[in-house]
Amino acid sequence: MRQGLLDAAREELERALAQSPKDAHALLAMARVLLAQGKDAQARPFLVRLLTEVPRHPESTAHLLRIDAQAGSVEALGQLEQVAALPSTGFFGPYNLGRARLSRRDAAGAITAFEEALTRRAGEGHAFAYLGQARMLAGDLDGATKDLVQAARALPHEMGPVAVLAGMLARQGRVKQAITALEEAIGRAPESLSLYPDLIKLYLFDEAFPKAGRLAIELRTRAPKSAEGAYLQGLASLLSGDLEEADRLLTETITLAPQSSEARIALAQVKRARKDFPAALALLEQAVAQAPTAPGPANELALLALAQPGRPRLAQAQAALRSALAAHPDDAGLHLNLALTLAEGDPGQARGHAQKAVSAQDAEVRDQAQRLLSVLGG
């Protein structure tokens, strides 16, 4: 809705500037519309024209310096710091300085600038949104959450702050609250399909499989060629126990995205559940070949090797696990699975890898490693 209003405003301003190219008010308004749409490069010429008509115009100066500073100009950043300190720049001085500092990952400097901007314009939603991102960068998750809530309240028609808030809540393990926030964000901008996959993944994590499946179907209806949509719908079917539908959807995913190792892993899980071990093995071999240092394919190959009667593929699984460990030496899951594949043939090596898995953050990995050590006598 907001995007439509901005587009309409832009068309009206284009007509006004066609009649009066030097109208300072129209030039500033046009620049603001383009900046609000994130089109800095298109806004820049209007800001330059405005400064030609009104030299040293405070707001335009701050916007231009911020654009140049974000493009990498150290000189522009230094000038912006001086300009932002001037009361005449009002809210836009420190606000632009905060954005420039945030783009350079200067969390402390950005926080200071956005807090100053909010003293000059209390309650401004975009400043709260960026302040939340700066606090997130600084590691202050509680502070970031509060700022993002303020931003969401101040900008009731924008989905951005709510979407960022959802990500924050998910990072804090507050999954149900993250789901609620993402549902609200999509309600604010139902045409923004980029949010759908994140909400589907949260539904899956929360074991709300029917909701995940319905939203995946909606995503695919809106974007029929979306490989991610097909993958997530297939994953929802797999976790719901509909193996036949999962098989069909994940096979389709691989057709849409031939390089997707994730889809091959998921389809291999389906094949394994359907007792089609040769098909599962072929898929995992392809996934390992596509991503030889990734933990996922190697771990899945190990699980399949351990599940097969007679375990004829243990050596192949061990080779894949070692390649992945070379790139991820602290991955507890890789250490655990390598220990499991080595337990019968080389208990000494198995014990060493199991000991590394005992300190895993994942409780299931940690407990399984401890049980294996008990069996191995370590």
Q: What is the mean pLDDT of each run of 10 residues along the chain (378 residues)?
A: 73 89 92 92 95 93 96 96 94 97 98 98 96 96 94 92 92 93 93 93 96 95 95 96 97 96 96 94 96 96 92 94 97 96 94 94 95 87
Q: What is the structure's pLDDT at 337?
A: 97
Scanning the structure block, which residue is given the tokens 């899951």?
333
Write the class of the CATH domain 199-258: mainly alpha
Q: Are 85 and 114 in contact (CB under 8 A)?
A: no
Q: What is the structure's pLDDT at 5?
A: 76
State which amino acid sits at residue 18: A
Give the model confidence (pLDDT) of 251-286 as tens digits.
999 999 999 999 999 999 999 999 999 999 999 999
**What 3-state DSSP class applies to 104?**
coil
Number of residues assigned to the chain = 378
Q: What is the structure's pLDDT at 8?
A: 85
Residue of 318, 366, 374, 312 whose CA lies nearest to 342: 318
Q: What is the structure's pLDDT at 2?
A: 64
Give the model confidence (pLDDT) of 321-342 as tens digits.
999 999 999 999 999 999 999 9
Q: Choose which CATH entry (1.25.40.10, 1.20.120.640, 3.40.1800.10, 1.10.1060.10) describes domain 123-191.
A: 1.25.40.10
Tokens of 124: 């401004």
**What 3-state DSSP class applies to 130?**
helix
Q: Are 378 and 351 in contact (CB under 8 A)?
A: yes
Q: What is the structure's pLDDT at 1?
A: 45
The reply to whether 123-191 and 199-258 are identical in fold is yes
The end-to-end CA distance of the chain, in Å, is: 63
Q: Are 203 and 209 in contact (CB under 8 A)?
A: yes
Tokens of 208: 């709300």
Dist. CA 311–CA 287, nearest whole Å:
20
pTM for this structure?
Answer: 0.79
The three-point CA angle 163-169-174 to 5° equals 135
Which DSSP state fits 361?
S
Tokens of 99: 């954005």
Dist. CA 242–CA 167, nearest whole Å:
30
Q: What is the structure's pLDDT at 9?
A: 83
Q: Are 206 and 179 in contact (CB under 8 A)?
A: yes
Domain boundaries, the chain: 123-191, 199-258
